[in-house]
Chains A and B, each alone.
Chain A
Amino acid sequence: MAMEGVIPAEQQVFDPVSQARNYMHTDENQKDSAEQLARETASQLEEKNITLIAVIESIGEYMRDEDNTIRSKSLGYLAGILEHLPSKTLSRQQVDVICTFLVQRIEDGGAVEGLLALQSSFRFSGDMAITTTRAILENLQDIQTKPQRQRHSIIRLVHDLLGNHRNAIKTMGTVFLVGVIDLFGGEKDPRNLMLVFSVVYVVAMEWDLENHVESLFDSIFCYYPITFRPPPNDPYRITAQDLKLRLRQCIAASSRFGEYAFPQLLEKLDSGSPNIKRDVFDTLMACIETYGARVLAEHSNNLWESLKYEVFHAQEEDLADEALKIVQANAARLCTELATDDNGISFVKQYLDMISKECLEKLREPQHKQAKYASMILAALAVSDHRALDEITKAIFPSLLSLYQGAETIESRRSFLECFLIILGAAVDVFRAQPRSRTDHIPLEKFKDTLLQRFSQALMGTAPEEMSYRILALSCLAKLSNIPSILSDEEVGLAVQYFNEIVLTEDADGRPDLVSKAIDTLLELSESRSQILLNITVPRLLAGLPDAGSTDTKRYQRGISILARLSTKHNLSDTVIRRLFGRLDAALINTATPQYCEALLAALAYAIKSQLPMQAHVGENYVQKATDLIKRSGEVAKAGVSDPLTNMGVLRALGRLVCLIIQTASDSTRANFNNEVYTLFTNEFIITDDKYSTVIKQQTIILSTYFLAAINDKPGSPLRYAADHRPILEDLVAITIASKEPGIQFAFLQHITLLVNKFADQSGLLVAWNICKNIGLADSRNATNPDAVKVLMFLAKAQILRMSNTKALLDHLLGLLEMEDCGALVATGFEILLSQDEVLTKQNGAKIRLLSGQVVFTHTLAHITKAFTGAAPGVRPRYLIALGGILKHIDRQLVLSHMKELNPLLLQSLIVPETALKGAVISVLAIAISENPLSVEEHLSSIIAQLLQIAMNKATNEALLRLQAVRCLSMIPGKFKEFVLIPHTKTVDRDVVKVLDDPRRDVRKAAVDCRTAWLALDEPDEDD
């Protein structure tokens, strides 16, 4: 040793002999210290402090002992050392020596473990692997007499040797094959079987099986099906699924297993157990995926014979589906290799002909359940490949068509149509997955004329009451039209004309299915045949629209709706939008009815919005159109003439459209609009010229509001008045309070809100705050004026949403509730604070802080909880109404987290006469009951009693409220423990019976459901 002098004392005294002795003296319970000793020796070896010879000599005495257990233990020491040695430490010669040494003693315990550690060593050679394997196969055939642990080591050794030295072991050929079959026979332990299956899998894949196929197959198939159930707390965590998967892999490993696997697997299907059937199906699927087509062809007959029974007599739907998938997969596999039999007929054709023939037989009784399965089988086969589709088309369409023609009742025809539909659906899939050129020979072509004719006849020539039949015919026609490259454009055009007629003229009231199916078909066709839609459908729909509107709103509404739906399709969109703008121009020139103009405007907005995901700046295309319309509206306002554009509804619809177009236009276009907010593109300033002298001029505020919603608030925005908000705000407030027309007043209120919320700077906010404080509610004239209160609430809303002065404003408003004159009005107005507004949205650039709702709610609730009991009797309902107004508009989770404080207030609210308040409270209760029943459980008796009162009292509660109350009641069963509810069942039943006689149908229906839900509580559960 080279390192004299510096070696630490401890290492100097390392003595292999005493180390070995120490090891030998450990007993069964000292496994850890034994392992520690082996590890120490290994590291000494690794650092070359001792030699291998010294180690071997140290245990020589024990290895020669007569006592088997001592010999085994000494070998275990050696194995432990080998295990802890890095794989490159030993030289080839050393490995060889140890290998020979261990192989000679292979029957002694510990030798196998030693070999297991040794074979992973870097220098373990192929020859050594063969020697070892041979020794195992020759000497350890009594493996089944050994305990599980030892069996595991042996099997593991075979498994690892095969993994690490595959090529060497392959040279052993049949010896190995036969040897392992014998060695593994009778193994039952799941952990060992996992390894056994892996070994057999490799052998089946890579060995030449010669005439041992059957014995190898039997050696694993005897475990099929796996019914293993893992013991609790199994440390190895092997599941039945693991075993099943690995065994399945084995069975599917070699085509040569086919002749044994198919008959035996199919035989297992006779078992009634669905689980075994599922396993068999999965295994068959695995075999079909790996076996060759020729093997499959040999067994296809038997496969079909067994599987058809599973489909036609399925006990469970999913089992039938599984069986179908196998029939289909087999066809698909047969298609991949176009092998033929001796007569030159392809296996696919034989297989498909056999099945088609049988299915056709079933289809002769079209209304029998089995007919449906027959169609499903045919479709499953057809969808597997285009060759399969062609064979099936040829085999069944002639008979199917003549059967259909000969069918006497609509019911049988319907069943045939169902069959056509399923198969044509498969055809669509196949043609889309495997596009085909027109020059291909396509059997379906031969039948297309007849099919087109039959389907058209069924659709258009059947009595309108035969709804389901006609829907089927339409679906068939749709599928046929959707198969790429089968029908010509003219033929599809013909079908489209039928769809047009149905879409436009079919009675859709109560029976929307046919119409909606037709619309869907048109939409689908627009993807592949947009030109036909543009040439036929769009003109037809436009032609149906009146010039001047008409009183028959239904007629044009339908046309416009369908055009709007079509416009969502990218390749129709621009054309449809431009045509609709054209119709709008015509309508305006002809002074059409406002409703008609409104419908057109709404459809345009819908169409443009639908294009946004594809085209962010879609609005830019229509800026000119929008500008023209705005100009026109400004001109008519100035001239004061009667025109559709002076109608408020039309103006609102136009406002929405313009807002959308501006927002989706380019930035420069948007900037342009900033200047025109109050001029509407005329040269005069409309808004303040003559202070809105006429209603028509006042109406321009509607469009201006939408402008304001649409434009940006950028620093240096050229918006007029931006510098100083005081004059315009004060002006607007004055006009709003004076305004008599609700629609116009609302637009003014929205305008003020937008201005303050979106554009006001600090000084502007101060102006708003001052107006709120001084709106003069102390002055009795304004105090009872709802218009003034509205202005106050909208101004407050504008500030609160951006969290400016929130708490001060709320305190101000809550204080007003106690005032004699205005308290009631302010309470009602609380609803305005958080209600949704069409223009004040984030999308329009409004400043809406996330927490604003929460602050309003918690602040108000805290104030009311504190003030309620001390408040004058007249003030209490105002508190409840104010709270109710807020509850309607906040997040339900927020409500649920405050149920404790809310409960007493809610119960009080159910007694006040205000309908709106009660409605809001019932909604809150309904949410609490369904999402957090515990929060109201304490008050359940009162809640039930109050709800019943509302439901029964027709005189004071309107129908919708009664409906809400009954629905809320029916939510209760199932949400609470039974013993909580049982005391109420009698009362509820007694009272709900009275509601069964409610004059309104909806309420009665709700009462029926409610009673059923509560009665179910009383019934004993006899479920097994």
Chain B
Amino acid sequence: MESIQNANPTIRAASDLPTRRRKASFSTAASDPLGIFTQAIPSPSYNFDPFSSSSTSPISSDSDSEEGTEPIDTQEIYDLISTISDPEHPLSLGSLAVVNLPDIYIRPLGAQDLQVVTVEITPTITHCSLATLIGLGIRVRLERCLPPRFRVDVRVKEGTHSTAEQVTKQLGDKERVAAAMENQQLMGVLKKMLETCQ
């Protein structure tokens, strides 16, 4: 980048971002403030019995109690894309509020459980020329991470960009996206952006 477009963006603290990840690791984290019970009480070993099929042997412990299905939801989409790096700051799209949980929608598309994921991005400034690149990054990330029955639709949130319509149109144009993916230099930048994904 020759010149930085927005040198001083608003940054949201990591602890203010919505995520499921932290919650998931909460019960096992060593820093768990309320976790003395896991340290003080050894695992209920009187249940250890290789002979009973439902035993809590060390391998098949926790989290598998009920084989429920957990459908893909907006939070999961958010967690997939919020850690993508911004092309001009060493910050994540989540902390720059380029992607926001309420701006992600999932809706069914006709039959055969086809689904459409819509992500509306908010560029940090209204004339940001990098909006297309960011949108492309999100698109690539989601296409790699979601099962094929999901259609990905990335657009610029209305009223947040001077050429929102144009950018959205570019992002929706399959041929242009395909052409972009052939561009080695562009893919290099994208790779850098996606490297930080968690």
Nearest to A470 among chain B residues (CB) is B15
Instruction: Tell me if A513 and B15 are in contact (CB < 8 A).
Output: yes
Question: Is B179's CB within 8 Å of the partner chain A?
Answer: no
In the complex, which of the residues A598, A656, A786 contacts B51, with contact meaning CB atoms closer than 8 Å? A786
A463-509 residues at the B interface, CB under 8 angstroms: 465-468, 471, 508-509
Q: Which listed segment binds B: A166-174, A539-547, A992-1000?
A: A992-1000
Q: Which residues in B have their C-beta under 8 angstroms from that of A598?
A: 41
User: Mask for A985-1024, Cβ within 8 A of B = 1, else 0?
Assistant: 0000000011011011110100010011001000110100
Known contacts A561-B34, A602-B40, A1022-B184; is-contact A368 B8 (Cβ 8 Å): yes
Q: Which residues of A contact B40 (CB under 8 A)?
A: 564, 602-603, 605-606, 609
Please pick, from B29, B32, B80, the residue contacting A1008 in the complex, using a CB distance under 8 A: B80
Residue on A nearest B147 in the bound complex, by CB: A997
CA of A603 to CA of B23 in the docked complex: distance in angstroms? 24
- Cβ contact within 8 Å between B145 and A885: no
User: In this assembly, does A727 line the interface, its C-beta being within 8 Å of a C-beta of chain B?
Assistant: no
Q: Judging by beta carbons under 8 Å apart, are A742 and B145 in contact?
A: no
The answer, among B14, B26, B31, B37, for a CB contact under 8 Å with A602, is B37
Q: Does A338 contact B (CB under 8 A)?
A: no
Q: How far is A83 from B114 in the complex, measured between Cα atoms in Å? A: 95
Given contacts A603-B40, A837-B45, A996-B147, contact A916 B50 (CB under 8 A): yes
A-B contact count (CB 8 A): 157
Residue of A nearest to B72 (CB): A1004
B26, B45, B58: the one within 8 Å of A510 (CB): B26
Given the interface contacts A837-B45, A1001-B76, does A920 sit within 8 Å of B148 by beta carbon? no
Contact indicator B50/A829 (Cβ below 8 Å): yes
The answer to the question of A648 belonging to the interface, with a C-beta cut-off of 8 Å to chain B, is yes
Measured CA separation A241–B188 after assembly (Å): 38
Query: Which residues does chain B contribute within 8 Å of A960, judged by CB atoms?
Result: 59-60, 63-64
A516: Cβ under 8 A from any B Cβ? yes
Query: Within 8 Å of chain A (Cβ to Cβ): is B169?
Result: no
Contact A916 B145 (CB under 8 A): no
CB distance from B164 to the nearest CB of A (A): 25
Q: Which of A731-762 contact B (CB under 8 A)?
A: 742-743, 746-747
Residue in contact with B22 in the complex, picked from A510, A743, A958, A961, CB distance below 8 Å:
A510
User: What chain A residues lie within 8 Å of B60 (beta carbons)?
Assistant: 915-916, 919, 958, 960-961
Contact B51–A838 (Cβ < 8 Å) = no
Per-residue interface assignment for chain B, residues 72 to 113, with 1 indicating a CB less than 8 Å from any chain A CB and 0 otherwise: 100010001000000000000000000000000000000000
A885 near B46: Cβ-Cβ < 8 Å = no
**Count of chain A residues with a beta carbon within 8 Å of a chain B beta carbon:** 79
Task: Enumerate chain B residues within 8 angstroms of A468, measured Cβ to Cβ.
Answer: 13-16
Contact with A along B144-174 (1 / 0, CB 8 A): 1111110000000000000000000000000
Q: Which residue of B lies closest to A564 (CB)?
A: B36
The distance from the CB of A649 to the nearest CB of chain B, in whole angstroms, is 8
Query: How far apart are A443's CB and chain B's nearest CB, in angstroms?
Result: 31
A1008 to B141: give the CA distance in the assembly, Å: 10
Residue A815 is within 8 A (CB to CB) of chain B in the complex? no
| B interface footprint on A440-473 (CB within 8 Å = 1, 0 otherwise) | 0000000000000000000000000111100100
Tell me the complex Cα distance, A993–B44, Å: 38
Contact check, A557 vs B34: say whether CB atoms are below 8 A apart.
Answer: yes
A519 at the binding interface (Cβ < 8 Å)? yes
A831 within 8 A of B: yes
Q: A367-B10, A510-B22, A1011-B145 are in contact. Are A916 and B51 (CB under 8 A)?
A: no
Contact present for B188 and A1022 (CB under 8 Å)? yes
Q: Is the CB of B39 within 8 A of A746?
A: no
* Chain B CB within 8 A of A686 CB: no
Of all chain B residues, the one with the shortest Cβ separation from A1019 is B191
Of the four ranges (under 10, 10 to 19, 20 to 34, 35 or more), the interface on chain B belongs to 35 or more
Per-residue contact bits, chain B 12-28, to A (CB 8 Å; 1 contact, 0 not): 01111000101110100
B44 CB to closest chain A CB (Å) equals 8
A786→B8 CA distance, assembly (Å):
70
Is B57 in contact with A916, judged by CB distance below 8 angstroms?
Answer: yes
CA distance A598 to B46 in the complex (A): 15
> Nearest B residue to A559 by beta-carbon distance?
B34
Asked if A369 is an interface residue, CB under 8 A from chain B, the answer is yes
Are A561 and B46 in touch, CB under 8 angstroms?
Answer: no
> B37 and A1008: CB pair below 8 A?
no
- Looking at the complex, which one of B26, B41, B63, B68 makes contact with A509 (CB distance below 8 Å)? B26
Of the residues B15, B49, B57, B68, contact of A471 by C-beta under 8 Å: B15
A467 to B13 CA separation, bound complex (whole angstroms): 9
Minimum distance in angstroms from B13 CB to a CB of chain A:
3
Assess whether A511 is interfacial by the CB under 8 Å rule: yes
B67 at the interface (CB under 8 A from A): yes
Is there a chain B Cβ closer than 8 Å to A825's Cβ?
A: yes
Is there a chain B Cβ closer than 8 Å to A835's Cβ?
A: yes
Bound CA span A920–B29, Å: 24
Question: Bound complex: CA of A652 vs CA of B80, how far in Å?
Answer: 44
Indicate if B197 sits at the interface (CB-CB under 8 A): yes
**CB of A890 within 8 Å of the partner chain:** no
Binary per-residue interface labels of chain A (885-919) against chain B in the complex, 1 for a CB within 8 Å, 0 otherwise? 10010000000000000000000000000011001
Known pairs A602-B37, A609-B40, A1001-B70 / 7 extra A-B pairs, C-beta < 8 Å = A508-B34, A602-B41, A648-B46, A746-B45, A746-B46, A831-B50, A958-B64
Q: List 15 A-B contacts (CB under 8 A).
A: A509-B26, A515-B33, A557-B34, A561-B34, A564-B40, A602-B36, A606-B36, A825-B51, A828-B51, A916-B59, A958-B64, A960-B63, A1004-B72, A1011-B144, A1022-B191
Q: Which residues of A contact B (CB under 8 A)?
A: 367-369, 411, 414, 465-468, 471, 508-513, 515-516, 519, 557-558, 561-562, 564-565, 598-599, 602-603, 605-606, 609, 648-649, 652-653, 656, 742-743, 746-747, 786, 789-790, 825, 828-829, 831-832, 835, 837-838, 885, 888, 915-916, 919-920, 923, 958-961, 993-994, 996-997, 999-1002, 1004, 1008, 1011-1012, 1015, 1019-1020, 1022
